[in-house]
Structure 1
Amino acid sequence: MKARYKYRIYPTDQQKQSLAQLFGCVRVVWNDALALCKQSEKKPKSTELQKIVITGAKQTEERTWLEEVSCVPLQQSVTDLETAFKNFFDSYKGKRKGQKVRYPRFKKKTSRQSARFTLRGFSMKKNGGVYLAKIGIVKPIWSRELPSAPSSVTVIKDCANRYFLSFVVEVKPVQSEALHPSIGIDLGIKTFAVMSNGAKAESPSYKKLDRKVRKLQRKLARQPHDSKRRNITRIKVAKLHNRISDVRKDFLHKLSTKIVNENQVIVLEDLNVSGLVKNRKLARVISLQGWREFRTLCEAKSEKFGREFKVISRWEPTSQVCSDCGFKWGKIDLSIRSVLCLNCGTEQDRDENAARNIAQVGMGNRHDSKWTLRDCQTISVAEPDEASRITAPSGR
């Protein structure tokens, strides 16, 4: 299987100028090819686009500066555009699963910049440096060794003017024994993850950083476009977003690695995140959690460590069924955190009960309650005066 290894680099001033020129050429080639595809009745092939926007454009006076950079990233830019169109058409025809892919868009100068080199455009040096064609030797901060020789490398400049090298390498699956056979995970906001074994993972607090982002975004909205002060504020906002992203990634990587190492089967619930963020009161908090990113990390690491990853249906009533006896008490309000089962008399914590139900459904120990209990009536929302059912109406 293939994986990406990302490292921070600190290029010299001359290398920054060369990289800025390279990013500009890659962006222009992408935009020219995309504009040509929009004007044509039938989308040209990748080889035809390369002849027009690269080979032919170098011979014109307007695009002669394309010869000053390596041709490898320019060709890869057209190849990436071809992949973007393929993903869009497959998503439109229903051949691609997941969320709908949008039509390719033009690249902006202020957005994240990248340029990809294949084996023809870079080489690894013995002193730990990486040679990039017509850029020079850059020295990454090697936080860990590469498991194998890279097949390609991407130079990245984010919105906060940080530079990275991203290598694509081949990784062999690691076989190791797990401590536990299975685990079910219920994701939340204040408590990020509640496990079926009773363990809980608290989410990092993003309140202070998010408050600073909101303040700077209001300031950014008042400043005139194309001004120097607006550009300074834009970089400050980007740096704060990067700090939030770094804190979230560090937390998600550590939690997902621990869960995958200790359990053979990992079961999650298929959450409708795009629908949940439509709630204007919880949209910003939900977006900061990174539920989808956590699912992606668990799925990728499960493949790497030889684990089994399962996702149950989002329509499974995990919060409406007792995990001990299977009695269905119906829908309850989010403010209710504990329920007393009328059938077995067990007091169930809402999140722990849902996590155990997720594990049972994922392992096939319980059938879909919508079919097994289809004749039972479901109460829409639990009434506050039902003291026998509601035991702890505390906030989450």
Structure 2
Amino acid sequence: MKRGYRYRIYPNKEQINLLEQHFGSVRFIYNRSLFIKNTMYSKFKINVTEVDLNNNLTSLKEQYLWLKDLNSQSLQQANRNLLTGFKNFFEGNGRYPTKKSKRNNNLSFQVPQNYQINLTTSKIYLPKIGWIKIVLHRDFLDKEFIKNELVTKEVNGELILDQKLNKKFNILKTLTVSRTSAGRYHVSILIDDHVPEPIPVEFHETTTIGIDIGIKSFAILSSGEVIDNPKFLKKSLKKLKKLQRAVSRKKISSKNRKKAVLKLAKHHQLIANQRNDFQHKVSIKIISESQAVCLEDLNVSGMIRNHKLAQAISDVGWSEFIRKLTYKAEWYGKTILRIGRFDASSKLCNVCGYKKENLTLNDREWECPTCKTLHDRDVNAAINIKNIALNNLNTVGTTERACGLTGISQRYEARSHSIY
């Protein structure tokens, strides 16, 4: 099973310059290869391969001498990422690759191999950059596993884990270096422990939970539990406006403006970190307490086009929360069941099946005219999501098909077909 472990690094000024050169060069190679591939196909109907793009790097290095000072494998990885983007597009799992912009502050490049980790002094070695301080706040591999299963070397009494020496084990995979808009640098180490994904455990109605995600409340469970929405962005809007005014008052391209922009970016980073931490805690709690989780397939990208709700929806982070639930379910052998976005959930009585057609967003409670049951709108929706998902599974689906469907081409495979 593959997992990524992200750590913060603290490069010095010289290393920062080298990292920025790698960010810019990888973007340059990606855009250049995209231009070549599009031109060759549109004019000559020739499909340019990865080998062709990598061979072109040799001539580019003669034309742009500064490319020789960079890690060649990172440049080749840019070509591989471009072709992966085309593959995902043609398989229906992504958009057509577009040119990368300098204005994008979330930059990254990849180091496929030849990196080292000093486990004694907490430093990491990157080719063409050198040793950088890293904060290993958690273990990416068990210490006993490293000692007994991997090859390490000792230099001046310091224990070093070299990816090159362990290449045959195929455990230490690609390393990704990134920079956030707040100017913080991170590395993400991809680990493949070769442990197969757990077989999805059996579940039944009592061990299945339905979730209705919302804005007023973050999530409402079919058990009746309501998880409040912390609204991190809304609580910080006053300070964000103050920081934004400070940016607008500074002279363009001045040092003071850059300082003000950095302060604003750091506060946005704080909000994102708060939201991310909250979603991790909620998602692992739900996955740990349930064998199966039922969700509604929402058209989030379409919903945020409503400018009255866009900020509130973005503050909740529905898509990211569902993504966390999905991959954690795969980790622990749990099942994700989805229902279609057009299936009735809020309007349907979970007791007798009556459908209230005139239900509006302002109606937080409603009474079923047939069975006289008083419904909380959100709790009723969560129960219906669970019932519809289980009914769909029993009629047209299987556990294996419904578990962990994240690709666009697979998104509707496990959706239910409304029978009401």
Shorter-chain TM-score: what band? 0.7 to 0.9
TM-score (norm 2): 0.79
Cα shift at 1:370: 4.9
1:329 is aligned to 2:356: yes
Over 3 Å counting, the alpha-carbon distance change for 1:369 and 1:167 in structure 2 is: closer
Query: Which ranges of structure 1 fall in alignment gaps of 5 or more residues?
Result: 373-396
Take 1:59 and 1:329, find their aligned partners in 2: how far apart are those partners? 71
1:56 is aligned to 2:59: yes
Deviations 1:305-348 (A, max 9, x none): 00011110111111111111212222311111111111111111
Query: Which ranges of structure 2 fall in alignment gaps of 5 or more residues?
Result: 143-170, 396-415
Cα shift at 1:217: 4.3
Take 1:204 and 1:11, find their aligned partners in 2: how far apart are those partners? 34
Take 1:356 and 1:126, find their aligned partners in 2: how far apart are those partners? 49
Choose which of 322, 325, 328 in structure 2 pairs with 1:298: 325
Choose which of 184, 204, 212 in structure 1 pairs with 2:210: 184
Q: Is the 8 A contact 2:125 2:131 kept in 1?
A: yes
Look up the equivalent residue of 2:263 and give its one-letter code: K
Look up the equivalent residue of 2:239 and give its one-letter code: K
Take 1:285 and 1:190, find their aligned partners in 2: how far apart are those partners? 9
**1:96 matched residue in structure 2:** 92
Cα shift at 1:236: 2.7
CA RMSD of superposed structures (Å): 2.6
Q: Which moved more, 1:222-231 or 1:198-207?
A: 222-231
Q: Is the 8 A contact 1:220 1:233 kept in 2?
A: yes
Cα shift at 1:200: 1.1
Cα shift at 1:214: 4.3
TM-score (norm 1): 0.84
Deviations 1:149-187 (A, max 9, x none): 421111111111100010111254468899951000000
**1:157 matched residue in structure 2:** 179
Take 1:126 and 1:220, find their aligned partners in 2: how far apart are those partners? 42
Choose which of 204, 220, 227 in structure 1 pairs with 2:230: 204
Q: Which moved more, 1:335-344 or 1:234-243?
A: 234-243
Q: Which moved more, 1:294-303 or 1:270-279?
A: 270-279
Deviations 1:111-168 (A, max 9, x none): 222110112x312334243221121122321121113742111111111110001011
Take 2:348 and 2:26, find their aligned partners in 1: how far apart are those partners? 55
Cα shift at 1:227: 4.1
Cα shift at 1:32: 2.2
Choose which of 68, 84, 108 in structure 1 pairs with 2:102: 108
1:340 is aligned to 2:367: yes
Over 3 Å counting, the alpha-carbon distance change for 1:126 and 1:103 in structure 2 is: closer
Take 2:417 and 2:187, find their aligned partners in 1: how far apart are those partners? 49
Look up the equivalent residue of 1:96 and give its one-letter code: G
**1:286 matched residue in structure 2:** 313
Look up the equivalent residue of 1:201 and give its one-letter code: I
SS at match of 2:345: coil
Over 3 Å counting, the alpha-carbon distance change for 1:111 and 1:230 in structure 2 is: same
Take 1:181 and 1:168, find their aligned partners in 2: how far apart are those partners? 33
Look up the equivalent residue of 1:55 and give its one-letter code: T
